[in-house]
Chain A
Amino acid sequence: MQIPDQWVGALVVGLIILVLGQLVLSCRAYYQYKDDVRNQIDGKIGNIATSLENLNAKIENCTIRIENIYARLESFENKYDRADKELWNRADQIERRLQDKNSQLKEELLTLQTTSDLLMKAGLAGSEDIYKKTKRG
Chain B
Amino acid sequence: MPLTPAQFERMEYLLGKAQHTSLAPNEQDELRRYVVVEQPGAEDVTFETVVTLGLIIVGAYLLYKYLESPA
Interface residues of A (CB under 8 A from B): 116, 118-132, 134
Contacts and interface: CB of A to CB of B under 8 A. Distances in A.
Contact of A124 (B9, B17, B55, B57): B55
B13 A123 contact: no
B20 A116 contact: no
Contacts of A116: 56
A126 B19 contact: no
- The A interface, classified by DSSP as helix, strand, loop or mixed, is helix
Contact of B59 (A126, A131, A134): A126
Interface string B52-71: 10111111111100000000
Nearest to B9: A130
Contacts, number: 62
Dominant SS at the B interface?
helix
Interface residues of B, number: 19
Interface of B: 9, 12-13, 15-17, 19-20, 52, 54-63
Contact of B63 (A119, A130, A132): A119
Contacts of A118: 59
A121 B12 CA distance: 13
A121 B16 contact: no
A127 B60 contact: no
Contacts of B62: 122-123, 125-126
A19 B9 CA distance: 156
A115 to B, nearest CB: 9
